[in-house]
Each structure stands twice: as C-alpha cells, then as structure tokens.
Amino acid sequence: MIDPVLFFFILGIIGALARSDLRIPREITDAMSIYLLLAIGLKGGIKLHQTGLQGVFWPLCITLAIGVIIPMVAYFILRRVGRFSVVDSAAIAAHYGSTSVITFAVAQAYLNNRGIEHEPELVVLMVAMEIPAILVGLMLARLLAGGHSVPWRKSLQEVILGKSVLLLLGGLLVGWVNGPERLEQTSWFFSQPFRGVLALFMIGMGVSAAQRIAEIKNAGAFLLVFAVVMPICNCVLGLVGGVLAGFSEGGVMLMGVISASASYIAAPAAVRVALPDANPAVYLGASLGITFPFNVLLGIPLYHHMTKVLLNFFN
C-alpha cells in the first residue's frame, strides 16, 4: 500500500509534468520546512529525555564511519567509472554521503502507519552523518583538484549553522532538556498537524523533482543508474551499521534510510560556497531529481524488506 503522504508527492510530479500552474510559494515552503525540522528534532529530544543517552556512543561512531565511507566510495565511482571532473565528483559525493530530512520524515510516517517503533537517537545520528560527508567531499576536491581552494570557514558555517542542522539540533535540545511534561501545551502543535504539513510539503517536492528531469537527461545514463543503485548500496551499509548498533527493526530500517538518502538542503548550500565551479544541474539533478523520488516512492518499502531479510539472516 502506498502511504497517503506519497500521493501528494505524485500529485506534485503530475502537476509539473502536465505544465500546470501548481506552485507553492517559496515563503510557505520555507515555513513548512522550518516546522518539519523543528518537529522532528523536538519529538526525538522528548524521547531522548525519557530514555536517556545511554548507549549512543557506539552507534554514533558507526554513523560517523558511514558518513566518511559513503562519499569516498561515491567519489571513486563517479571519477573512475563515470568520468566526471574532480570537482563534480566531489560535489555529488558530498550530497550522497549527507542526509535528507524529508526522506527521514517519510520513513518515520511509514513506520508509524505500521506501528513499528524506533530508537529516538536516530535523529542525533541523522545530524551526525550530515556533517562529515560534506567535509569529506570538500576535502577530496581540495586535495585532488590541483590546488583548488576551499573557503573552509565559510563552508563550515554553511554546514553547521545551516537551517537543517541548526533547527534539528535546536529542537532536539529543547525536547531533551524540557521533556514531555514541560512541553505539554506546545507539543500538540508539533505532532497533530505534522502529517498534514508533510503532505503539503511533498506537493512542492514533487514539483521540484519533476523540474529536474531535463537536467538528468542532459547528464547521461550513467548518472541515472548511479542515482538509483548508489542509494541501495548505501542502504545495505546503513542496515549493517544498524544491526551492529543493536537497533530494533524500525531503528535498523531508519539507519538504512539515512544512509540511502541524499541531501538537497545542507549539501547544496555548502557546495555552492566551497565549489562554485561544480555543476548544480548534476548534483541537484541526481539527488533531488532521481534519488529523492526513488527513495520516497520505491526505496522505503524496499529498504524495509531488506531490513527484515537482514534481521532474519542474523537471527
């Protein structure tokens, strides 16, 4: 069964492909993204307040390792097999090592519909994976692009103080410090309307994804294959990491989703500053035009099936 939220995403795609005037104003999209980021962080923080931070260190180490491995492997494939330039390879690798908050939110909704619980620290791990992957991508460009200069200070500012990381960590901290009792009068606002706001946001994401199709056509068949196969391979790495971390079925699946997702918020902001010569049509076309639709429409149920197969194997 397709999650109802995904019908809104499909509606956005159909509207864009049919050349409809369907658009969500940028200001409203920004407001919805702020709400979703804060809600995800806040709910994770409240659960962490109830369960504590015990046992986070080992999963965090695994997450950071995955955040380093993925962009390095992606860079090698893009450079050696895809024959992309050093700068474009590094830019795309940074996007695929980083994470997508909206993909995470859709996966959470998928699990909630099926009554499957997951560990609250997954929000912490999602933020943790976002940062090293971008830094590895920028470092590869600096080391291998023949003296390419990277403005590290401004790039780090874009990564650490960017909207996604700041709001997720801010919401996480507020929820963790205050707990459900002190947030009782405001927590409803970040829980009850969440799916409705996510549904509206997915219409805009569908429009944006459809608008990137032409860019993918120009990039060639290799990038299309890469944008589908790479997330599946990354998911396997994340699932194994989730098993090693001792997570439940829901936690293992979300670890796979985090690893399989590709950034289109934090990574583009950092790459735009640090690697201005990189082609946005390539890295945004792949991450937003192909990988995001694949993950939310087909990938999430596929990753859940892969999770169950892997858990059965280990059990």
Give the residue extent of every domain in the chain: 4-15+24-314
Which helix (H) or strand (E) covers residue 209, if one does?
A: helix 194-211
> Residues 180, 182, 187, CA angle at the centre, nearest 5°?
55
pLDDT tens-digit profile of 130-178? 878 888 888 887 777 665 566 656 666 666 677 777 888 888 889 888 9
- This prediction has a pTM of 0.86
**Three-class secondary structure of residue 149 per DSSP:** coil
Structure tokens at 310: 């892997």
**Three-class secondary structure of residue 1 per DSSP:** coil
Q: Which fold has domain 4-15+24-314?
A: Na+/H+ antiporter like fold (1.20.1530)
- Provide CB contacts within 8 A for 18, sequence distance 6+: none
Q: What are phi and psi of 310, to 5 degrees?
A: -65, -40
Structure tokens at 208: 């944006």
> Are 41 and 172 in contact, with CB atoms under 8 Å apart?
yes
Question: Which residue would you say has higher pLDDT here, 82 or 165?
Answer: 82
- Predicted confidence at residue 151, as pLDDT, reads 65
Question: Which residue would you say has higher pLDDT here, 131 or 237?
Answer: 237
